[in-house]
A and B are shown apart, each in its own frame.
Chain A
Amino acid sequence: MSTKNIEEKQYLLRFKADTKSHLTVMDNDICMTKCPDKICTIFCPAEVYKWEGLRMQVGYEGCHECGSCRIGCPYQNIKWEYPKGGHGIVFRLA
């Protein structure tokens, strides 16, 4: 079978996105000046975080709500909440 890149994997899912992000990068300067690896852009399983040269883009709409970014951010720089009730990812199978 063919592998699917992360965009294609994300297309397999149903999301009911809230209008407001449940994920907040608290201080963009920390990402810029202290975190050369921008490690959240690597380990996030849904590629929610993308570094855009000057700021962190947070694609919260595709979040699996796993919590890795909150725990894995070396600077505890991510405020992590649950999306509003009934919103966010909707797993249909497993």
Chain B
Amino acid sequence: MPEKFDVIVVGAGPAGTSCALVCAQNGLNVLLIERGEYPGSKNVMGGVLYRKQMEELIPEFWKEAPLERPVIEQRFWMMDKESVVQFGYKGLEWGVEPYNNFTVLRAQFDQWFAKKAVEAGALLINETVVTECIVENGKVIGIRTDRPNGEVYADVVVLADGVNSLLSKQLGFHKEFRPDEVALTVMEVINLPKEKINDRFNLEDNQGCTIEIFGDSTKGNLGTAFLYTNKDSLNIGVGTTLSSMIKSKMKPYDLLDYLKTHPMVKPMLAGGESAEYLAHLIPEGGYRSVPKVAGNGVVVVGDAAQLVNAIHREGSNMAMHSGLLAAESVIEAHHRGDFSESTLNIYRQKLYDSFIIKDLEKYKDATHTFENNPQYFKEYVPMMNKAMSKFFTVDGTPKREKQKEIMKSVTAERGTIKVIQDIYRAWKAVK
């Protein structure tokens, strides 16, 4: 007699664990399957975890979760070869309860989070790959794993199998991604003593800082770099769309080293020691790439459903919230005793009514616009740097004349009409 669960969740990342936790809390019999040695061992994130969506799952989680630092300052760098234009926000309100977001190291955080689901009653099985969904009469009824006699059955299978989501492809929910729908990102964790981090980033005690770096950090390609403070290490990483990486024939690790040795970045890392190097894909296709998310006996959550807002570097929070919405829908389906697509479409409805799809919809043209118009990163960032340099260099030129010169050099480089078009296009993409 094969084993049967109420719910099988494939993947113990933020989306899967959230779903498993809430289902288990509501008395459902949950199997949570993870292919890694432990939850988090296959997962990579730049490092920002938002408080709001996590708190909805575990109130006051910050009192016990393995977090690095609460972020009190977010900086943005528009970087050229030997200069940078900076802006940002620092606020002490982010350093006290209830906080805004935290830096985390995922291998530790995910293990802790999965333990919470286990404490709520979910059964966690590690080191097991789900090779396919078992489909019968157009309905998913279970999964096949790479273990001997590894078939397990359930009323609902939740696909939280990450960006590559081979399982939702097997079901035909989405086609293979194009290289412009994913960002290839590499990062290093660099050990550095706490005092040095605090001095360099102008922080006290456990305060954290994040820096997003645009422009020369990707050699002008569509993408960003980041530098985040952990307790006694830094996460530095850089990513571009896979299509940009291919077009420019860049080796991702060379780009990372270019960033690490950039004159604006190098002093921040001085004396540090590399502790880990990690590569991962980020689903950045946005609204138009979101696949079918519910079928007969199955729902798709998190990265597997492409739920990432690349513009605001939000992903794990969307994963968690989608996991929660999926759980609520599965619980409702359980009460009805009906796991058909039409009932599980409650999840789809909830997802599309939530901030997740609303935000993805807002930026639905952004990736496409910036991918097809490389001037934003390649030309405007250097232009901004030159303008600032000119404006703040005191050389006896009256300020009004300087302003004129700056405007002239911008329109001379791109042409007045093009500049107006560029501004309109960018505004349209993010409005």
Interface residues of A (CB under 8 A from B): 1, 3-6, 8-10, 12-13, 16, 37, 39, 42-43, 45-47, 64-68, 70-72, 76, 80-86, 88-94
Given contacts A1-B269, A10-B277, A68-B281, contact A94 B251 (CB under 8 A): no
A64 partner, pick from B250, B273, B279, beta carbons under 8 A: B279
Interface residues of A: mostly helix, strand, loop or mixed?
A: loop
Residues of chain A within 8 A of B96, CB atoms compared = none
Chain B residues in 8 Å Cβ range of A72: 179, 242, 245-246
A76 to B177 Cα, complex, angstroms: 11
Chain A residues within an 8 Å CB radius of B260:
1, 3
A1 to B360, CA, bound (A): 38
What is the bound-complex CA distance between A27 and B277, given in angstroms?
Answer: 31
Interface size on B, residues (CB 8 A): 62
* B53 at interface by CB-CB < 8 Å: no
Name B71-124 residues within 8 Å CB distance of A.
Answer: 105-108
C-alpha gap A39/B248 in the complex (Å): 11
29 example contacts (A-B, Cβ-Cβ < 8 A) are as follows A1-B260, A6-B251, A12-B275, A12-B276, A13-B276, A39-B246, A43-B245, A45-B252, A45-B253, A46-B279, A64-B279, A64-B280, A66-B279, A67-B164, A68-B184, A70-B176, A71-B177, A71-B179, A71-B281, A72-B242, A82-B35, A85-B128, A86-B36, A89-B42, A90-B37, A91-B42, A93-B233, A94-B45, A94-B106
The A-contacting residues of B in range 15-66, CB under 8 angstroms, are: 35-37, 40-45, 47
Q: Which residue of A lies closest to B150 (CB)?
A: A85
Contact A94-B129, Cβ < 8 Å, known A16-B37, A65-B42, A71-B176:
no
Cβ–Cβ contact A1 & B273, under 8 A: yes
Confirm or deny: B274 has a beta carbon within 8 angstroms of a beta carbon on chain A: yes
Assembled-state Cα–Cα distance A90/B272 (Å) = 23
Further contacts, 13 of them, CB under 8 A, given A9-B253, A83-B129, A93-B278: A1-B273, A3-B261, A9-B277, A13-B277, A42-B251, A47-B251, A67-B182, A68-B245, A71-B242, A82-B35, A82-B166, A93-B276, A94-B106
State whether A85 and B279 are in contact (beta carbons under 8 Å apart), knowing that A9-B274, A45-B184, A71-B179 are contacts in the complex: no
**B186 located at the interface, meaning its Cβ lies under 8 Å from any Cβ of chain A in the complex:** yes
Q: Select from chain B the residue with minimum beta-carbon distance to A39.
A: B246
- Which partner residue on chain B sits nearest A76 by CB separation? B176
Say how far A69's CB is from chain B's closest CB, in angstroms.
10
Measured CA separation A27–B269 after assembly (Å): 44
Chain A residue at minimum C-beta to C-beta distance from B180: A71
Report A65 CB to chain B, min CB distance, Å: 6
A91 near B43 with CB under 8 A, answer: yes
- Contact between A85 and B235, CB atoms less than 8 A apart: no
**Contact among A1, A6, A37, A83 with B274 in the assembled complex (CB-CB below 8 Å):** A1
* Distance of A7 from chain B, by nearest CB (Å): 10
Per the bound structure, the CA–CA distance linking A42 and B255 in Å amounts to 12
When distances are taken between beta carbons in the complex, the residues of chain B under 8 Å from A92 are 41, 107, 276
* Interface pair A6/B253, CB less than 8 Å apart: yes
Q: Residue of A at shortest CB range from B145?
A: A85
Tell me, yes or no, whether B257 is within 8 Å of chain A by CB: yes
Quick one: given A85-B35, A85-B129, A85-B146, are A68 and B242 in contact (CB under 8 Å)?
A: yes
